[in-house]
Amino acid sequence: MALYILRRVLQSFFVLLAVGLVAFSMFRFVGDPVDNLLGQERTQADIERLRDVLGLNDPFIVQYWNFLKDAVQGDLGVSFRQGRPVMDIFIERLPATLELALISAIFAVVVGVVLGVYTALKPKGWLTNLILTVSLVGVSLPTFLIGILLIYVFAVELGWLPSFGRGETVQIGWWTTGLLTGSGLKALILPAITLGLYQMTLIMRLVRSEMTEVLGSDYIRFARARGLTDRSIHFRHAIKNTLIPVITITGLQLGSIIAFAIITETVFQWPGVGLLFIDSVRFVDIPVMASYLMMISVMFVAINLIVDILYVIIDPRLRAGENT
């Protein structure tokens, strides 16, 4: 098992290097940061001097290498726009994004699995048809539209929930949390639903089709023929077998919840890293963009690794493979 994890970590390392390389080669096309940094009254000499100081005259491979060298030591560089270390900005912004992602992931998984199992067990009920129809709408509408709709209904018309921001936050060490105050929790509801809705319908439909297939399998028929109760058949034998493929997709979806928080954060003016990234793109803030992309790829790779390990824990057939 340890060897397996070590091998996967090594593989992940190369994946990260490749992602960084692609990202860096793309930054050459997003524009020249110097244009934004210096005002209208710049001279050619200013430009040259700044380019030299920032290292922008080096070939991008060298720039990439310097970035990696510093990043390993915890130094992600200084934001061109804000003039502060990127690490500080991230630490300030990350809790907001992670809390939002966590809550919407929990929402997506819990509601998705429950509805998926329900619709599989009662394939002909009226509630099933209703859920499936509504979920189709959820899949079809783009995220920002759902966000705007929710804001319109619950914030503007009904006035129940705030339409933007995090509400009051509490500082615990370097972590700022909105989970401990009433207004913070209220502010989380709409963005979390907006962000998690698509993943929820996806998980629901996946669980439903997997569960339907498992319920038709021979070992479920055999369990029935042994006279076991429906509860044991459904919730002990069927669910576990359903979860194996669901875990893979869900894992990857959690990664994209963090990555695609950009749109939701923009709609709700959520002070997280997604919003930060959008601003950085506008000002060609290369250190922030590079760090953001690397952070997202680290997360994806880590989630993948966790999914693979979960697989081995759930499925005994894979455990046998590790000895050979």
- Positions touching other proteins (CB under 8 A) are 7, 10-11, 217-219, 221-229, 232, 236-237, 240-241, 314-317, 320, 324
Nearer CB in complex with other proteins: 166/237? 237
Least distance (Å) from other proteins to the CB of residue 67? 26
Coil vs helix vs strand at 171: strand
- The residue assigned the tokens 């990439």 is 64
Least distance (Å) from other proteins to the CB of residue 217? 6
Give φ, ψ of 290 to 5 degrees.
-60, -45
- The residue assigned the tokens 């189709």 is 136
Least distance (Å) from other proteins to the CB of residue 283? 40
Spatial distance between the Cα atoms of 123 and 273, rounded to a whole number of angstroms: 41
Nearer CB in complex with other proteins: 53/225? 225
Nearer CB in complex with other proteins: 175/219? 219
Nearer CB in complex with other proteins: 278/313? 313
Least distance (Å) from other proteins to the CB of residue 129? 18
Nearer CB in complex with other proteins: 73/317? 317
Least distance (Å) from other proteins to the CB of residue 231? 11
Least distance (Å) from other proteins to the CB of residue 301? 15
Q: How many CB atoms lie within 10 A of CB 123?
A: 13
Q: How far is CA 209 from CA 14, 52, 122, 136, 257, in A?
A: 35, 58, 12, 15, 22
DSSP 134-152: HHHHHHHS-HHHHHHHHII
Nearer CB in complex with other proteins: 4/90? 4
Spatial distance between the Cα atoms of 84 and 69, rounded to a whole number of angstroms: 19
Nearer CB in complex with other proteins: 17/137? 17
Nearest Cα neighbor of 209 from 83, 123, 102, 277 is: 123
Least distance (Å) from other proteins to the CB of residue 300? 19
Spatial distance between the Cα atoms of 242 and 233, rounded to a whole number of angstroms: 12
Quick check: 277 and 72 in contact, CB under 8 A? no
Nearest Cα neighbor of 281 from 27, 24, 25 is: 27
Quick check: 296 and 261 in contact, CB under 8 A? no
Least distance (Å) from other proteins to the CB of residue 230? 8
- What angle (nearest 5°) sits at the alpha carbon of residue 144, between those of residues 196 and 80? 95
Q: How many CB atoms lie within 10 A of CB 232?
A: 12
Nearer CB in complex with other proteins: 84/122? 122
